[in-house]
Amino acid sequence: MKRYIALLRGINISGKNKIAMSELKEGVVELGFNDVVTYLNSGNVIFCSDVDDKGILSDKINGMIKDRFDLDIPVFIILQEELKELLDNAPDWWGDDDKEIYDNLIFVMPPLSCEEVCDEIGNPKDEYEKVHSCNGAIFWSFVRKDYRKTNWWSRTVSSNVSDRITIRTANTVRKIVNK
């Protein structure tokens, strides 16, 4: 049995797409997955399954959400081991303890590629932000006080790829990788 992490895109943000984590967990358990844990209210679900196909897992969770909550929520699935490896390969500038910097990890939902995301959003403004692509994800950091000056802040939400990415902070990613 493998340990997976499901990242739901765009739930419980500004009162939209509301899903109680207890109900989400119950739904995932009813799908037959084991050792189900949710983390935070932003749609992070950790579970075990013997299914090897991430697409099937994503479809099952998406279907359960449609049936149970009447919402069409994109679901990104990653093996816990893959996420650990991704974090092991994070750039040196990402995820340190500097409180002036905001560190995020952008997960790119297949078949979309990191290159397509970068092409759509454009180049980062070097004086305010840094990006680095690695294994289907993009490490992105920026100076907190200057977030409005970054290229990626507004463009990640307004771009043509915004519905095919999901973003988590460095702190959240570090917590869920060890659940």
Exposure letters 15-25 (e unless 16+ CB within 10 A, then b)? eebebebeebb
Domain shared by 72 and 98, yes or no: no
User: Is residue 35 within 8 Å of 48, Cβ to Cβ?
Assistant: yes
> Tens digits of per-residue pLDDT, 73-87?
999 999 999 999 999
User: Is residue 25 within 8 Å of 36, Cβ to Cβ?
Assistant: yes
Domain shared by 52 and 126, yes or no: no
Terminal Cα distance for the chain, rounded: 15
Domain shared by 73 and 93, yes or no: no
Structure confidence at residue 157 (pLDDT): 82
HSE, CB side, 13 Å, CA atoms: give it for residue 60: 17
Domain shared by 137 and 169, yes or no: yes
Domain shared by 76 and 95, yes or no: no
Domain shared by 33 and 76, yes or no: yes
Residue 15 has pLDDT above 80, yes or no: no
CATH code at position 30: 3.30.70.1280
Q: Residue 88 — pLDDT band, cuts 50, 70, 90?
A: very high
Q: List the structure tokens of 154.
A: 């507004």
Domain shared by 71 and 105, yes or no: no
Structure confidence at residue 17 (pLDDT): 87
6-31 mean pLDDT: 91
Structure confidence at residue 112 (pLDDT): 95
Question: 48, 80, 112: which is the final residue of a domain?
Answer: 80
The total of structural domains in the chain comes to: 2
Range of the domain at 106: 89-176
Domain shared by 158 and 94, yes or no: yes
Domain shared by 64 and 94, yes or no: no
Domain shared by 94 and 152, yes or no: yes
Domain shared by 97 and 71, yes or no: no
Alpha carbon 6 to its chain's center: 8
> Tens digits of per-residue pLDDT, 129-179?
999 999 999 999 999 999 989 989 888 888 899 999 999 999 999 999 998
Residue 1 has pLDDT above 90, yes or no: yes
Closest CA to 19 of 58, 61, 52, 68: 68
Angle at 74 between CA 28 and CA 109, to 5 degrees: 115
Domain shared by 72 and 103, yes or no: no
Exposure letters 132-156 (e unless 16+ CB within 10 A, then b)? bbbebbbbbbbbeeeeeebbbbebb
User: Is residue 109 within 8 Å of 165, Cβ to Cβ?
Assistant: yes
Structure confidence at residue 91 (pLDDT): 96
| Partner residues linked to 36 by β-bridges | none
CATH code at position 93: 3.30.70.1260
